[in-house]
Structure 1
Amino acid sequence: MDKWFTPKNARKVLFAAGFLVLLAAFTLRNLNLDYDFERFFPQNDPALDFYLEYREKFGTDNDFLLIAAKPKSGDILNEDFISAVAAVEKDLNALTKVSSTLSPFSLKIPVRSALGAKNKSVIPSNPELNRYEIFSDPLLDRKLISEDRQSISILVQHQPYLSKVKSDSLLSEITSILDHNIPNQYRMAGKIYGQNYYIKTMGKELAFFASTSFLLLGIFLFISFRSVWGVWLPMLIVVITVLTDLALITLFGYSISVLSTILPTILFVVGISDVVHLTEKYLQELRSGKTKIKAIISAYKEIGLATLLTSVTTCIGFLTLLTSSIGPIANFGWFAALGVMLAFVFAFSVFPAFLILLPKPKKLLEKANGNQFWDKILIRGFTFSLRNIPILFLLFTGIVAASLYGISRLEINNYLLEDLAESDPHRQDFVFFEEQFGGVRPFELAGNFDTSMHSFTNYDSYVAMERMINYLEESYGVNNVLSPLNAIYLAHRAYMGGNKTYYSLPDSSTFERIKPLLKRGLNNPKISQLLDRQTGEFRISGNVVDLGGAIFREKNKELNAYIDRLSKETGMQFQQTGMPMLIDKNNESLSKDMLLGLLIAFAAVGLLMGLLYRSPKMVLIALIPNIIPLILIGGLMYLFGIDLKLSTAIIFTIAFGIAVDDTIHFLAKFRIELGKNKPLIIALKNTYLGAGKAIVITSLILFSGFITLVFSSFASTFYLGLLVSITLFLAVITDLLLLPGLLYLGYCKKKMQTN
């Protein structure tokens, strides 16, 4: 092996690494951030296929922007405010990417007169005289006029499927128009606004987490090694790892999602862990009197296999995310696993190359006496863990039992904007629309006329449709409902001279008389987007207040039961669809995906331990200290009211893959000590003292890296950082308190009795 560790080969490795860094930096110019709700849809799902066909026929349910405008005077019927809103609509309609706008002041309805039907503004020219009539109009109340009567809504329909560049451009143009006409008097909600906000925040967080992790890790390395050498060299390795991983993501044509913003933090801490274990062993060998090359080779032999195993198990933790049908989560698993293996490769190639070319770190070698501090602490920990085996086992058994009860009570739940803090301005805008305009969460129901029983001019068809809509409004909580029935309501109102009390389904005799108006209404472009006369398909859409996925799952069960009854009675078919329903569907499969991912991770780690030790008992010993922290985290989630959702479900497999590293290093060291033919209790003690310091240091580094994520604006990142940090802390506790006892009872005690 000596022939490979030469200055010539070291220079070759560093030259290749330098070239790779330059190439990666050049590639990162094309790195993109992406936040698209549709990427979170379940893939290869019949519900998604149905939605895509439905969207192709009737259009999307989120290509709009809502603008809430509030006058400074507080009176929405003020003439100056009405003129300002009119100017806003005029300018908006002049934009090429805007399809149409609608506000209370531009809404017109047909009204029958002696000269025939003509369009008339819902709000008359002198609104002050009809204030009560305006506020109680079903076309305006909580649709285009807020519940508190202090704001109005402008609905902006824009071109579908706008690219990121085009949507940002459109948002900039709209914002400019609003600032010019109604400065500081508006709020916004919608896809282009949310996407722009999220991506800007993601960019800031990507830079923040990378720099914060870099700084914190540097501090911990300096505290651990008290040397500039011990800081800059490990940090250089992780920087190369992060740059290379991000460059490969770009080369493969992927973008950075909200989950992927934490990749630099993960790779920093995982990469540092590899280097710390290698550095610690290298310094131990130098202190024992070995030459530099012999010390490097010895570190390779003793640490290499364990570090490879830990890298593989961490990869397994991330790769189990591929069990998810959600694209961004599966991609995140790939990216992180790739980065973990890159960290291992660079730690065992670039790092040794630097060690070969650099002189021995004399200051670090002089600090060998500093190990006495660690030895005192670790000896106490070792003695405590063996003297209190029964108490510790009973204590952990009780905590695990309580945590399992908590896990059984965990609820799967999700909200559309749960990723943002309650104090976030974008979240506050969303809540405003929820409270004042009947909700922002889209609702979609596909309908189909049974042509043998129904037609678009058949009165019974609309009676059945109204029964469905009444259920949606009264039982499900759908507001602002749009359907072909609106054409009937408008025709009836027009026939009765525009009186708002007749915005309803007429009796059968009146229905026959309004058919000419109905035909005109069905030909209206907005109504035609709700109806396909050739196939008999139609659309019922609206908005609901976002009550959470758990409540909507129950509501959907009741809705489906009602649909079954109504379909049997009327022959009309209905099927729920839409973006929020698909997101809820993802969360419904969370428990299955999470359990499958964990089982795969357990099996893979168990297989590795089985191959290494060829002992089922050692497999069990390796898994127990790492399963317990996961169970405790589940219990803590219940205790603190944290729901199971996309952002929290993935934590378990990630945390397991990272936390098991310390156990593997401990068991690998134990295996080496056993090979030295020492008494087994001495081998266990030497393992505790030898691996203990590295386990504590690397865990502190990992903890410090992940805990920075609690400063994220996104709840998903916050929970990931918090819960993984707690899991790592608990994993250290179980490794240092339970693992020695498990090895003593399962291995050492038996062998000692035999000997």
Structure 2
Amino acid sequence: MFTKKNSFWSLGMALLMTLVILIFRPSVVFDYDFESFFPQEDEELLFYQDFRGKFENDNDYLLIALGGNTEVFDSVFLSAANSLNKSLKKLEKVERTISLLDLEEPIVNPFGIRYRKVLDWENAERLQNSRKTILGSLQYQKGLISKDGNYLLILLKNKQRISKEDGDELYQEIKNLVANSGINEYHLAGKIRAQGEFVNLLQEEFTFFLGISLILIVCLLIIIFRTWWGVLVPLTVLALGILWTISLSLYFNKPLDVMSVMQPTILSVVGLAALIHFFNHYLTQIRNGHPKDEAIRISFSELVTAVFLTCITTSLGFVSLFFTNIQNLKFFGLYTGLGVMLMFLAVVMIAPGMLYLLTPFKVSENDSFSVMWRKGMRLAFLWTLAHTKSIVWVFVLITLISAYGLSKLQVNGYILDDLPENNSLINEFRFFDQEFGGSKPLEFSLSAGPKAKDLMQYEVLKEQEKLESFIKEAFGASAVVSPLTLAKSLNKALNSGSEKAFATPTIGQVRRIEPYLGKAVEESPVRVLTSDFKSGRLSGRTEDMGSLESSAMKAKLSKFLEEEINPDLLLVRITGTSHLIDISHESVTAQMAKGLGFAFLIVALIVGFLFRSWKIAVISLIPNVIPLLWVCGLMFVFGIQLKLTTAIIFTVAFGIAVDDTIHFMAKLKMELSKGKSWLYAIKRTYLETGKAIILTTLILVSGFSILTLSQFGVTFYSGLLIGMALFFALVADLILLPVLLILLKKEP
């Protein structure tokens, strides 16, 4: 298969594929979409999509705070803010703005309806009256003005479900208008800003890790092989493998996203690990006196099956993520899994042909480096034989402690927790949490119960009053609007604009406001009711307290609804984008178990097929499950919480770590097929495969450690935890696995 002629044909095909890609280059697109982290094909998502169709997308807004160290009740400041507000309204992709600058309250009197400006700065007296009214009103505090009156809020509603490109353009237009408004201090936070900054960071990181991976690989290759061909061949293979993978995803319109940052490093270390096994075997053949051409043919022919199996298990480890219900994870897993197999193709299509073309340096069997390796591996194997029982007990003890740590791990995630801690966007969101009671949308669906006429019925409004009070207290919600808010506003309008009348209307007052309801629903700046008054929304903002605390609050909500709200009158259901993100984090253990279960099954089937033994299949899994448990213990010690982005670490780490076990077991089978005894076969496998396992782990750990330089949380923790898992797997493969095989005593 790997004769010189066949290898040259394969090399030519690889170069032709690369040439086609370079001629028909795909468009490079970067993207970050919050909704790609929603659980797909989930009942909660379907419910929200229906709810969104009736009302609006709950996160298509930008919060704009204007002000400073003094109160905003200054006519010069307000004139500048009002001018800015008018300019914002004129932008093409802005649907509307909501602020005190142009908000008017209806006043109903015997002569009809008139409208009164909430904030009037026409003269000093009116401005002072407005100040007194606004600061004394719970209706506006923390909703449209900060509690101390130092910041004024403009809530800008952009085009629904705006694209990334349009969002970037709109945000830049808004930023320019605000910067040129003459107002010195301002703060901006919202979806269109967050997506833009995520992608900018993403582009920087993608370029950085591509470059740093290249530098690392060159350094490691020089250290390991100390020959120019030992650097040139792997660099060519890895460069083309990464190019093929990225091009494949772009050809299928899969943009590069926050998860794609890890792909160059992952593919590099996987491809390099495969090359090291081939090169190590190739150099062994050279030392044994085989001519170069024969050494190439033997080394690739004997190891291609083992390397294929390691690549397929790694690939399937990633592909298992496709069976989760999170879109971002699905396609990261699918394209990285395909990328691993493309890297395998790059290795077997390019490396043999290049080695035939190149003349390697002479390899000495007795150089000090080789002698040191052989001596070290023999000592390690003898030590393992002498301490079999102690090794088992130490592994059992550490694993039990780690299992305890796993039981104590908490699932908790934040909307922006992948961003670096000192990022300006995080600081802006915290500003709105502090000054305006929250930046995270909070959304509830309201429906009239089976015994209710509609949501504006007096008895139903009283149920809404209880619900609203609970949500403000339990969730710390601010800027709450609902059908009850609409009823309170109409009640206030019918009582000459008295602030005391902004309260739940009595039965008689409900009858008085009924004639005005239709027009009020149409003119409301925020849609809170459908035209038949049977469906509505309670909408507000809250702090991003994390999915753990949010889950506790939702549990309290369920208990409250069960005990306090009459379902015959009012049906309540939490929904919205924040709720869906929380669900994604909360389902992390199920996602992790699903991916790992699939990976375990594949590995067990492969090893079981190789040895025709279920016992060996089980033994092969043990050294790869234990490192995952140890990582859980490490997470518990360092206070690292489980979340959607850290859950994938276990599936990825298992898929990569199991490669060494498969190499070990494949070599063991080869030695047994030569008629060697069980113990002697284990010894030869240990001595000959151990070096390659150590070198590949060194490269893998070094490669993933680079990811700890990332500013993205998902990338940082992936590098840290996967690197540790691979190190633990090395220890298990070279210490525990031989012990388990020795204790098995008999040949399969």
Please report the TM-score for the alignment, with normalisation by the length of structure 1.
0.94
What secondary structure sits across from 1:81 in the alignment? helix
1:313-333 CA-to-partner distances (Å, cap 9, x unmatched) read 111211221221111111111
Tell me: CA distance 1:676–1:195, structure 2 relative to 1, closer, same or farther (3 Å): same
Name the counterpart of 1:191.
191
Deviation at 1:566, TM superposition (A): 4.9
- Alignment check: 8 A CA contact 2:119 2:131 kept: no
CA contact (8 A) 2:456 2:487 kept: no
1:698 to 683, 696, 699: 696
Tell me the amino acid that sits aligned with residue 327 of structure 1.
Answer: Q
Residue of 50, 53, 76 corresponding to 2:50: 53
Distance 1:273 1:24 in 2: 26
Asked if 1:381 corresponds to 2:377, the answer is no
Partner Cα separation in structure 2 for residue 365 and residue 96 of structure 1:
73
| Aligned match of 2:91 | 95
Specify the SS of the correspondent of 2:525: helix
Equivalent pair of 1:274/1:343 in contact (CA under 8 Å) = no
Q: Deviations over 1:345-395 (max 9, x none)?
A: 111121101111112x11555885421121232222212222111111111
Q: Which amino acid aligns with 2:330?
A: A
**Percent of matched pairs sharing the same residue:** 36
1:198-597 superposed matches below 5 A: 198-359=198-359, 361-362=360-361, 364=363, 368-450=367-449, 453-455=452-454, 458-527=457-526, 529-534=527-532, 536-566=534-564, 568=566, 570-597=568-595
Higher alpha-carbon deviation: 8-17 or 224-233: 8-17
Distance 1:131 1:654 in 2: 58
- Change in Cα spacing, 1:495 to 1:319, as seen in structure 2 (3 Å) is same
Residue-by-residue CA offset, 1:398-443 (whole Å, 9 max, x unaligned): 1100111111111122111111232111111111111111112211
Q: Is the 8 A contact 2:67 2:151 kept in 1?
A: yes
In 1, are the aligned partners of 2:649 and 2:722 still within 8 Å (CA)? yes
Unmatched 5+ residue regions in structure 1?
A: none
* Contact 2:11/2:350, CA 8 A, preserved across alignment: yes
Gaps of at least 5 residues in structure 2 are: none
In structure 1, what residue type is equivalent to 2:150?
A: Q
Report the alpha carbon displacement of residue 67 of structure 1 after superposing the two structures with TM: 1.0
CA contact under 8 A between 1:601 and 1:653: conserved in structure 2?
A: yes
CA displacement at 1:595 relative to structure 2? 1.5
**Which residue of 597, 600, 611 maps to 1:599?**
597
Cα distance in 1, alignment partners of residues 509 and 622 from structure 2: 75
Structure-1 residue corresponding to 2:21: 24
Cα shift readout 1:161-204 (whole Å, capped 9, x = no counterpart): 22222111111111110111146622211111111111111111
Aligned 8 A contact 2:455 2:535 in 1: no
Shift of 1:295: 0.5
Structure 1 match to 2:60: 63
Q: Is 1:676 the counterpart of 2:674 in the alignment?
A: yes
CA–CA distance in structure 2, aligned partners of residues 37 and 644 of structure 1: 19
Task: Give SS of 2:227's match.
Answer: coil
Superposed displacement of residue 635, structure 1: 1.3
**Does structure 2 conserve the Cα–Cα contact (< 8 Å) formed by 1:626 and 1:731?**
yes
CA gap 1:75/1:473 in 2 versus in 1, 3 angstroms: closer
State the AA in 2 paired with 1:432. Answer: F
Among 107, 110, 114, the alignment partner of 1:111 is 107
| Equivalent residue number for residue 651 of structure 1 | 649
Do the aligned partners of 2:229 and 2:358 also contact (CA within 8 Å) in 1? no
Rate the CA distance shift 1:366–1:457 in 2: closer, same or farther, 3 A.
closer
| CA-atom RMSD in angstroms | 2.2
SS class of match (2:453): coil
Counterpart for residue 620 of structure 1: 618
Cα distance in 1 between the residues matched to 2:560 and 2:25? 53
- Decide whether the 8 Å contact of 1:594 with 1:650 is kept in 2: yes
What is the CA distance between 1:568 and its match in structure 2? Answer: 3.5
Which of 632, 651, 656 is the matching residue for 2:630? 632
State the alpha-carbon separation in 1 of the partners of residues 175 and 23 from structure 2. 34
- Paired with 1:665 and 1:453, the residues of 2 have a C-alpha distance of 69
* SS in structure 1 at match of 2:625: helix
* CA distance 1:515–1:718, change in 2 (3 Å): same
Alignment check: 8 A CA contact 2:455 2:536 kept: no
Residues of 2 paired with 1:541 and 1:363: CA distance? 74
Q: Give the alignment's TM-score, normalised by structure 2.
A: 0.95
Q: Residues 468-489 of structure 1, C-alpha deviation per residue, up to 9 Å, x if partnerless?
A: 2122222333221111222222
Deviation at 1:154, TM superposition (A): 1.1
Q: What are the Cα deviations for residues 80-121 of structure 1, in whole angstroms up to 9, with x where unaligned?
A: 321221121111111111111122322221234575332222
Residue by residue over 1:137-171, the C-alpha shift from the partner in whole angstroms, topping out at 9 and shown as x without a partner, is 22321112223432221111111122222111111
Residues 492 and 503, structure 1, Cα contact 8 Å, conserved in 2 = yes
1:34 aligns to 2:31 (yes or no) = yes
C-alpha distance in 2, partners of 1:23/1:68? 52
The answer to whether the 8 Å contact 1:282/1:296 transfers is yes
| Contact 1:385 1:741 (8 Å CA) reproduced | yes
Kindly provide the amino acid, as one letter, of the partner of residue 736 in structure 1: L
User: Which AA in structure 1 matches 2:98?
Assistant: L
Q: Which amino acid aligns with 2:77?
A: F
Q: Is the 8 A contact 2:71 2:148 kept in 1?
A: no
Matched position secondary structure for 1:382: helix
Q: Which amino acid letter does the alignment assign opposite residue 573 of structure 2?
A: Q
CA distance in 2, matches of 1:456, 1:335: 48
Q: Matched residue pairs, number?
A: 744
Going from structure 1 to structure 2, the CA distance change for 1:181 and 1:242 (only over 3 Å counts) comes to same
Tell me whether 259-268 or 371-380 shows the greater mean CA deviation.
371-380
After superposition, what is the alpha-carbon deviation per residue over 1:578-610, rounded to whole angstroms, capped at 9, x for unaligned? Answer: 111122222332222222221221121111111
Instruction: Determine the structure 1 residue equivalent to 2:116.
Output: 120
Q: Partner amino acid for 1:580? A: S
AA paired with 2:13?
Answer: A
CA contact (8 A) 1:413 1:587 kept: yes
Contact 2:266 2:704 in 1 (8 A): yes
2:30 is matched by which residue type in structure 1? Answer: L
Aligned partner (choices 720, 723, 726) of residue 725 of structure 1: 723
Q: Which amino acid aligns with 1:202?
A: L
Counterpart residue identity of residue 216, structure 1: L
1:25–1:247 CA contact under 8 A, matched in 2: no
The answer to whether the 8 Å contact 2:457/2:510 transfers is no
- Supply the distance in 1 between the matched residues of 2:594 and 2:94 (Cα, whole angstroms): 46
Query: 2:706 maps to what in 1?
Result: 708
Partners of 1:715 and 1:367 lie apart in 2 by: 47
- 2-side partners of 1:28 and 1:124: how far apart? 59
Contact (CA 8 Å) 2:449, 2:567: kept in 1 or not?
no
1:437 & 1:221 partners in 2: Cα distance? 55
Distance (Å, rounded) in 2 between the aligned partners of 1:136 and 1:213: 59
Structure 1 range deviating more: 560-569 or 348-357: 560-569
The 1:448–1:90 alpha-carbon spacing in structure 2 relative to 1, beyond 3 Å, is: same
- Amino acid of the residue matched to residue 296 of structure 2? I
SS at 1:181's partner residue? coil
Q: Tell whether the 8 Å contact from 1:27 to 1:250 is kept in structure 2 after alignment.
A: no
Mapped contact 2:461–2:484 kept (Cα < 8 A): yes
> CA contact under 8 A between 2:460 and 2:569: conserved in structure 1?
no
Q: Distance in 1 between matches of 2:519 and 2:343?
A: 67
Q: Is the 8 A contact 2:26 2:247 kept in 1?
A: no
Instruction: Tell me, yes or no, if the aligned pair for 2:450 and 2:568 is still in contact at 8 Å.
Output: no
Contact 2:146 2:435 in 1 (8 A): yes
